[in-house]
Amino acid sequence: MHKVMEDDGKSRLMRDDERVAVRAAVEDGYDLLSRLQDATRKKAAEDTSELLNRVFDTLHLSSEVDGGESAESFESTRFFVRMCVFDKGKRYIARLLSVLRPVQAARVITAVFENLSMLLYAIAPRAAGDGPDELWEAVLRAVRSPLIPAERCMGILNAFCRTHATDGGSLVIVLSSAIGARLLYVTMQRIFSAQGDGAPLTRDCSQLHALCVAITARLGDVFEATESSKSIWEVAAMLDALSEGQIQADLRSTLKNLLDSGRAPPPPGT
């Protein structure tokens, strides 16, 4: 019993110490951002480069691996996740996404997508009239930005697939959230648009196909829980556009069955 109490006490102390460290990192980061603004104004390129690296280091994310798509365990992104779930940390990360180099911004977005279900669950929705959450708005802007190429969007989506495709509950959390479904839709839209422009992606699409299969299996639960059926239809349309063969046929069959049984509303505009 004493051993259990001692272990619980150590765990609480570690959590408290980590919270303090996260908040200290945010304060350090704001100081570095102020210095970065001064260096940018003075056009001191070497100082700017070094400061950008130091700002990125405050997030405690690993360096980019395999194009920014290395799916990491929660433990390895735990510091970053803690930063995301308190208001000043969210505002800090949202601001960073507008100043980091594209490769650094892509790594931040990858970390968000790796932990998307957890973050959507942990970050309280804004009250009506409060406006959109600054973190989600910043992530959406970054994913839409041409500074992050579609090839990297595929890497980001692959990271999401590896941490969510085998967990049906996590998929339902993401897709039933309007912002979660929107993030997936915009990411897949960037990939589809690149293919339409005649720029085939070189990355392996097997993760995307696995995601389509996993989402197809949970569509009934998703439509039942969703905040926005329109968002689900948008995601389904993108999955249909990006899939083929039996995977595409199964998706279409599942959607038809849900429509015929009344478990899914008609798609918008029909």
- Residue at 35 is within a domain: no
- Residue at 27 is within a domain: no
Report whether pLDDT(261) > 50: yes
Encoding tokens for residue 243? 């899939």
Identify the pLDDT of residue 199: 53
- Residue at 83 is within a domain: yes
- Residue at 51 is within a domain: no
- Residue at 12 is within a domain: no
Encoding tokens for residue 219? 């569509």
Share the mean pLDDT of the chain. 85
**Structure confidence by residue, pLDDT tens digits, 18-53:** 889 999 999 999 999 999 988 888 776 667 889 999
**Structure confidence by residue, pLDDT tens digits, 190-229:** 999 987 655 555 456 778 889 999 999 999 999 999 989 9
- Residue at 4 is within a domain: no
* Cα(209)–Cα(202) distance, integer angstroms: 15
| Domains identified in the chain, total number | 1
Compute φ and ψ for 264, nearest 5 degrees. Answer: -130, 140
Identify the pLDDT of residue 256: 97
- Residue at 223 is within a domain: yes
Q: DSSP per residue over 163-227, as a string? A: HHTT-HHHHHHHHHSHHHHHHHHHHHHHHHHHHHTT----S--HHHHHHHHHHHHHHHHHHHH-S
pTM: 0.86
Report CA Rg, the chain.
20
Q: Domain containing 82: what range?
A: 59-260
